Amino acid sequence: MAQILVRNGIQAVGEGLTSLVIIGKKSVLQAVSFEGRLQEVAQKFVGDSSSWNSMVSRITSSGRLPLHYELAHLIAVPDTASRGNTPTNSHALFRDMRSVTYPIDVQNVHIVLFAEYSDVLAHVAAIARTFCKFSMKTSATEVRSLNVNIDVVCDQFTSQDAHFLTDLSESVRETARLIDTPANILTTDALVEEAVKVGHAVGATVSVIRGEDLLAGGFGGIYHVGKAGPTPPAFVVLSHEVAGSTENIALVGKGVVYDTGGLQIKTKTGMPNMKRDMGGAAGMLETFSALVKNGFSQTLHVCLCIVENNVSPIANKPDDVIQMLSGKTVEINNTDAEGRLILADGVFYAKEILNATTIFDMATLTGAQAWLSGRMHGAAMTNDEELEHAVREFFF
């Protein structure tokens, strides 16, 4: 399995055969001088400075250029962006990195990333996503071990940034592992165990409410959506409390480990891939992990609403009326609109019990999002204009 280390500046790699990947936006690569450390690591693949200058002058606006029998690669990230993507063009980098194959005898992957500071986080996250953790292919006789070094070349980049992005890379890959794991393995009980493990690893306070205790505690949304599943629904809270904190932030994640649609069942083409309906919970759990590992200075909670929306004689029916944690009653008219029911309990708990001053809720909530903001953008909605501007500035 690959181990990723992010470093500040070009450094040496360990012993063994190494595959080199040089990455940057076209405009950034064309300004790079082929001297010093870059020349030391790339000369055997690229040649001399005149070869480098000739190569970067002819690269297309985007794409991957294989070098030296596929042992080295040059990836140009587009400089321009349309309204259908982001200025970082991290999706293009992910696509090109995913197409890279490493010879079976390669032990080290040395990635040299030339980037503007505003692009570094998105580019490192895109790279990390390509080193998947989950696989159950029968052809994989053994798990391959790779040492992956991402050397960031950027004037403003610091060693503290490198440490954070190493942890972020692990969180990105853990999020993907959880989403990739099928629901017959990642049951509600298994996702609870994953969350508890993260909580203990970072020294957080852990609270788990499960099964009939949810109903007794008033969590009608989570309980009634998840009661038909083969394993019980659960609500997990991890808390990182900081004395003197001026902010109390809660992350709330939708954790539907599988969504059949319930009694109003999905179609044969609409149901596949519904194992990913817990992506919000996975993302928020690993966000919490990365922030706490790096000494987040404010009080932070993560609330995970974990269910399986399945079919059984006790499943929610259209016309059923349930009572939420808030005390409000809700009439079910679509059993496949379960996300808002479980999140309502989670958000109410964050606001009224945890007294959160800011709540971030992340969910694979509705297919309508694809029509609103497309395949490259998530949709963001908030009741705070200042926060909306901050989100837009960060992501777009």
Q: Which residues are catalytic?
A: 266, 340
3 state DSSP class of 352 = helix
Q: What would the two tokens of residue 205 be?
A: 């306070």
* Sequence-separated contacts (24+) of 365-371 with Cβ below 8 Å: 365/254, 365/280, 365/339, 365/340, 366/339
Helices (H), the chain: 26-29, 36-46, 49-58, 90-98, 117-129, 159-180, 188-202, 212-216, 220-226, 279-293, 339-348, 368-373, 385-395
SS3 string of 163-215? HHHHHHHHHHHHHHHHHHCCCCCCCHHHHHHHHHHHHHHHCCEEEEEECHHHH
Compute the distance between CA of residue 356 and CA of residue 347 in angstroms, rounded to an integer: 9
Q: What would the two tokens of residue 197 be?
A: 């493990």
Compute the distance between CA of residue 92 and CA of residue 88 in angstroms, rounded to an integer: 9
Cα 289 to its chain centre, rounded Å, is: 12
- For CA atoms 85, 70, 50, 47, the dihedral sign is positive
